[in-house]
Chain A
Amino acid sequence: MDSRTLPETNNSTVSTRLSMKQLPAIRLSHVLLIVSFIALPVRGDVTAPSWNINGFGTLGVAHSDEDQADFTTGLLADEGAGYSDEWSLKVDSKVGVQLTANFASKFKAVLQVVSEQGHDGSFDPQIEWANVSYDITPELTVRIGRTVQPSFMTSEYRKVGYANPTVRPPAEVYNLVPVTNSDGIDVSYQSRFNEVTNTLHLLFGKKTTDLPDGFEMESDDSFTLANTLEWRDTTLFAAYSQTDLTVDVLTPFFNGFRAFGPEGEYIADRFDLDDTTVRIISLGGRYDPGTWFILGEWANNRSRSFVGEHRGWYLTGGVRIASLTPYLTFADQRAKGDLSHPGLPFPQAQPLNETLNLLLSQNTSDQSRIAVGARWDFAPSVALKVQYDRIDLRRGTRGVLSNTQPGFEGDEPVSVFSTTVDFVF
């Protein structure tokens, strides 16, 4: 599920209501942070809190040869390379700053703000992490506030280009989740048996995400159970996530179907996103003995809505030759849902039927991708990456592309060339 599923809207009218609406979502985290900063040091601990400021960023430019659609990175990105700009700086460029405070040895607070292209085209900073954590025992940690959902193996640091081998997280897997963080509680339990470190991670929360034109996407009762096992050079990952998703922009449209009586209600219930449970399973692994690495993930998302079911996977391998790391990625995403539906057999329902079919066809992303690239660690804490992607769209879908124009045909492979400079400080 992503922005492509929503009817194309005029982004220029995003109102100031949006910034007002963001307030309640971040207030809890803010309050917790302020309380922790003020209250924790006086809890009988004599050591002064230690503060760390860290940051990361990417300066990138991407080119796509498909001029009737945009290649973007984030699900809710407004513009990208191709139709909007032949060469786009907006696809990969971002900057993040993090403040970490350690109070005593058990209390910690983290605030991370990331500025990247949002749904309205702006680079307004958004709060990615904002939580306080407490180590109940050395193994058991509870965090309250905003945390990133560990739906996939590298979800939590997917925006830190420097920490990842390729230019961007593979969309075939990472775009299967509409919401990437939540406000709530998160418990992790790290245990060690002999040489194996195992981390079990449990997360409950909710999140409201802004969409263009003042609409919102609500993700309620979000639940993620993830397990990471590390042994020598091997990492194994498995996760199950579910969330109840509501997208208010579609409510009037499906109410239109409901107005036609039981047949319309049947279609609305079958396809709408109104407190609809979306379930995601993912499995991943990495083997990195140092001079080379291989990593891959498989994921499946499912719901009884027009979003339907998708399966995605990717496999990336690379070799480290001094400061140079050439790599190769294979990736694939298949949609299991129908591309069209007959709708209601009434002439008055024709516009509704057409919109429904547009939703179905635009949501179905069916593609394979091959990417070759290289990372060059040319200076401390800075890496240059170049990557070429060839995307093969299938079943006439638009794959991961967005902003498709009337002239878009999708019958030719799309070539994307990207180069980025990733840094951490």
Chain B
Amino acid sequence: MPLFLKKIIMTGLLSTLGNLVYAEVVVVVPNESPIQELTSLQLSDIYLGRLTQLPGGEPVRPIDQTEQTPAHGEFYQQYLGRTPAQIRSHWSRLIFTGRGQPPKAVRSNDDMARELSRNPNTIGYMAPEAVPDSLRILTIGS
């Protein structure tokens, strides 16, 4: 087998393995948020644009991180089992049928904390060591 083919295959294998070793990302809400816990299906529906209000009727607005942040890929792999490309395909279907725009995306954990502090009905994600006192980590049930 030519060397370059081997290289391509190895790169593919490594990136597959890389996806299996998650750096942990936690889901956060503002302290004053009415949300106490979420199921993983509710979380995934919120981030896919299918769920805009909770069963109690409270609106919920997801905040995303841009694709350049390490948290982005980790969040979607860990909680939704989807790659960034799959998420972009999903939003393409909604954008180009006029049905929706993807969540607002911030560039860092700090920006995420700032954005969430502005609105109690928001939800976001970040690295656990970056969570400030104004936010609380949400338990995601199965």
Q: Interface of A with B (CB < 8 Å)?
A: 52, 54, 56, 96, 98, 100, 102, 108, 110, 112, 129, 131, 133, 138, 143, 148, 156-157, 159-160, 162-163, 192, 195, 197, 230, 232, 289-291, 320-324, 377, 380-381, 383, 424
Contacts and interface: CB of A to CB of B under 8 A. Distances in A.
30 contacts: A52-B95, A52-B101, A54-B96, A56-B92, A100-B95, A100-B98, A108-B98, A110-B98, A143-B98, A156-B93, A160-B93, A162-B88, A192-B50, A195-B41, A197-B45, A289-B81, A290-B80, A290-B81, A320-B83, A321-B12, A322-B13, A322-B15, A322-B16, A322-B19, A323-B12, A323-B15, A323-B85, A324-B12, A377-B83, A377-B85
A151 B88 CA distance: 24
Interface string B41-74: 1000100001111000000000000010000000
B79 to A, nearest CB: 11
B7 to A, nearest CB: 14
Interface in B15-55: 15-16, 19, 41, 45, 50-53
B103 interface: no
Contacts of B51: 192, 197
Closest 6 CB pairs of A and B: A110-B98, A377-B85, A290-B81, A163-B92, A156-B97, A322-B15
A162 B98 contact: no
Interface residues of B, number: 28
Contacts of B19: 322
B67 A100 contact: no
Nearest to B85: A377
B129 to A, nearest CB: 26
B89 A162 contact: yes
Contacts of B98: 98, 100, 108, 110, 112, 129, 131, 133, 143
Interface of B, secondary structure class, is helix
Contacts of B82: 290
Given A52-B95, A110-B98, 6 more contacts: A100-B101, A138-B52, A160-B93, A291-B81, A323-B15, A323-B83
Contacts of B93: 156-157, 160, 163
Nearest to B67: A380
Contacts of B84: 380
B86 interface: yes
Contacts of B16: 321-322
A98 B95 contact: yes
Given A112-B96, A321-B16, A324-B12, A380 B81 contact: no
Q: Which of B45, B51, B92, B101 has the most CB of A within 10 A?
A: B92
Interface of B: 12-13, 15-16, 19, 41, 45, 50-53, 67, 80-86, 88-89, 92-93, 95-98, 101
A98 B96 contact: yes
A156 B100 CA distance: 13
Contacts of B13: 322
A138 B50 CA distance: 12
B50 A162 contact: no
A54 B95 contact: yes
A410 to B, nearest CB: 36
Contacts of A129: 97-98
Contacts of A232: 41
A266 B97 CA distance: 43
A129 B94 CA distance: 13
Contacts of B101: 52, 100, 102
A244 B88 CA distance: 37
Contacts of B97: 129, 148, 156-157
B67 A162 contact: no
A21 to B, nearest CB: 26
Contacts of A424: 88, 92, 95
Contacts of A323: 12, 15, 83, 85
Contacts of B45: 195, 197
Contact of A96 (B12, B80, B88, B96): B96
Contacts of A131: 98
A101 B19 CA distance: 37
Contact of A157 (B50, B88, B96): B96
B81 to A, nearest CB: 4
Contacts of A52: 95, 101
B85 A383 contact: yes
